[in-house]
Amino acid sequence: MSSTLLEVTRAAHEDVERLERLIVKDLQNEPPSGKDRLYQSHRVRNNIETIIATSEKLVEIYEDRDNARKDEIAALGGQTATGTNVFSAFYDRLKEIREYHRKHPAARVVDANEEYEALLKEEPVVEFSGEEALGRYLDLHELFNQYINSKFGAKTEYSAYLDVFSRPHNISWKLKSTMQYREYMQNLLEYLIYFFQRTEPLQDLDRIFSKVEAGFEEQWADGQVQGWEKQGQENGDDPAQHTMIDLDYYSTVEELMEVGPEKLKEALAALGLKTGGTVQQRAERLFLTKHTPFEKLDKKHFAKGSRNPDQNGSTAVPQDINSLKDVALMEAKMKKLCDLLSKTIEQTKENVVKKQALTYEEMEQEREEEETQVDTESDEEDQQIYNPLKLPMGWDGKPIPYWLYKLHGLGQEFKCEICGNYSYWGRRAFERHFKEWRHQHGMRCLGIPNTKNFNEITNIQEAQELWGKIQERQGLNKWRPDLEEEYEDKEGNIYNKKTYTDLQRQGLI
């Protein structure tokens, strides 16, 4: 039934509409974590690619290059080779439908909504290395090794490399005109593109690069590309013109000899050829490259160790202005990707510095926690919390109200000299400690009863002075510790000393 071309067209349009509604519904749900946000972006991206592929099939059907669609429409109208017969076409189609259901009696209608709804819960497979931690950090270790083992690089640490890899304009153009640098820049650009596509699948990278190329063409024409200016950093010459000679302007060796021995020597060295001999020998050797492919030259013309430029990445390859322009364009694209991934680069630097202070066991434990722990941080939690008064955090991770802080004295430190300068945090804990054993023991050591008169007294000298005044005021009515000194059991019941001692002796408290 669904084999007819018109039915395929109708089903394709239905699939496109369902996928569009599915994308809208998926984007309406705010993902609670970075992992869910990544999965959502890839789901949407996969649906968009499916829509594009389906639309391309529809375009082919509507173009109808083989006239299949036209013939099927004509058949539905009853047009045959002998003429038009609508009833015959109708009964033929009815017979086909009955025959189909006779052969497939158990056929049922499949609810496509259930299939599409399942796509909302799908977790796309996105490959990340352990170092990348689901796209939170970059993994540039291979490129770092390539950088420090090259002539254009420097011996440095990985954390320092993360600061300089996005600034290729600091490298001399002479070093950047080698095959080794070209391969390094290609690998770096490929990795950044691959990482960006995995972490930002909804970004249109082709559109971004088209803008970069348009701006680059204008800057290159004006000689304003950073690191590739016509006014070179060394001697003010154009990098492409400094060592290379355009042989199209010379038809004989004698004309080429007029360039001079030094220019010929520099051009030969850039090609990896021998630079010795007279001016005529140098010109003849260089003129061979005009009509002979570079790889077919006799090995006697090459300098020692430079027979095959592919085997020696540090030897400059024959490059014209266009090849240098390609390297400069790769640098421009790489810088644009670094701008888009600036936050990730900063997080990578912080992660590298943090790992330098961890042991191997701590690093393994942290990696296991990252793999097993579900990231539940939302965008609101990622924002910096405004807390100028440094109030304590509540159960929701936000500062408690200021009135609550003042009411309970949370975050305040109270020291009691009678308890041996022990610190109590919070007003409630400080008030409770006057009935605890630590304070009672301290009062007994001073020979002072632990009564309500000594509440809020934490200084030993003040407690002794107050006890002296109480004794003078009492006179004949002296203190009776058996009846007036208070004790508290574990349940908070208050007794005088005599009752407390009796109950304790009987084992009742």
Q: How confident is the model at residue 434 (pLDDT cuts 50, 70, 90)?
A: confident
For the segment 325-334, the average pLDDT, to the nearest whole number, is 89
Residue 477, pLDDT above cutoff 70: no
423 membership: H or E segment, kind and range: strand 422-425
| Rounded-to-integer distance, Cα 297 and Cα 295, Å | 6
Please tell me the pTM assigned to this model.
Answer: 0.54
For the segment 417-424, the average pLDDT, to the nearest whole number, is 81
Residue 52, pLDDT above cutoff 90: yes
Residue 55, pLDDT above cutoff 90: yes
Q: How confident is the model at residue 193 (pLDDT cuts 50, 70, 90)?
A: very high
Q: Residue 194: what pLDDT?
A: 92
For the segment 336-347, the average pLDDT, to the nearest whole number, is 90
The tens digit of pLDDT for each residue in 194-222 reads 999 999 998 888 999 999 999 988 888 88
Q: Mind giving me the DSSP string for 204-227?
A: -HHHHHHHHHHHHHHHHHHT-STT
| Rounded-to-integer distance, Cα 415 and Cα 425, Å | 9
Q: How confident is the model at residue 375 (pLDDT cuts 50, 70, 90)?
A: very low
* Residue 254 structure tokens: 């004698």
* Residue 265 structure tokens: 């020597």
Structural contact between residues 13 and 110, judged by C-beta atoms closer than 8 angstroms: no
Position with higher pLDDT, 214 vs 494: 214
* Residue 412 structure tokens: 């305040």
Structural contact between residues 45 and 101, judged by C-beta atoms closer than 8 angstroms: no
Residue 73, pLDDT above cutoff 70: yes
| Rounded-to-integer distance, Cα 326 and Cα 59, Å | 36
Percent of the chain with pLDDT over 70: 77
Structural contact between residues 255 and 264, judged by C-beta atoms closer than 8 angstroms: no
Instruction: Pick the closest to residue 285 from 253, 320, 316 (CA basis).
Output: 253
Residue 322, pLDDT above cutoff 70: no
Q: Residue 319: what pLDDT?
A: 45
Q: How confident is the model at residue 239 (pLDDT cuts 50, 70, 90)?
A: very low
373: how many CB neighbours lie within 10 A of its CB? 8
Our CA angle for 478, 484, 486, nearest 5°, is 140
Residue 309, pLDDT above cutoff 70: no
Mean pLDDT score across all residues of the chain = 77
Q: Residue 237: what pLDDT?
A: 45
End-to-end CA distance of the chain: 88
For the segment 98-126, the average pLDDT, to the nearest whole number, is 72
Among 149-153, 284-288, 354-358, name the one with the lowest average pLDDT. 354-358
**Residue that the structure tokens 């799908």 belong to:** 122
Position with higher pLDDT, 327 vs 122: 327
Q: How confident is the model at residue 54 (pLDDT cuts 50, 70, 90)?
A: very high
The tens digit of pLDDT for each residue in 9-42 reads 988 998 899 888 888 888 888 888 888 888 888 8
For the segment 229-239, the average pLDDT, to the nearest whole number, is 46
Position with higher pLDDT, 261 vs 231: 261
Where on the phi/psi map is residue 260: left (φ > 0), alpha (ψ -120 to 50), or beta? left
**Residue that the structure tokens 């600061």 belong to:** 163
Among 108-122, 188-202, 299-313, 393-407, name the one with the lowest average pLDDT. 299-313
Among 41-50, 306-315, 365-374, 382-391, name the one with the lowest average pLDDT. 306-315
For the segment 150-159, the average pLDDT, to the nearest whole number, is 86
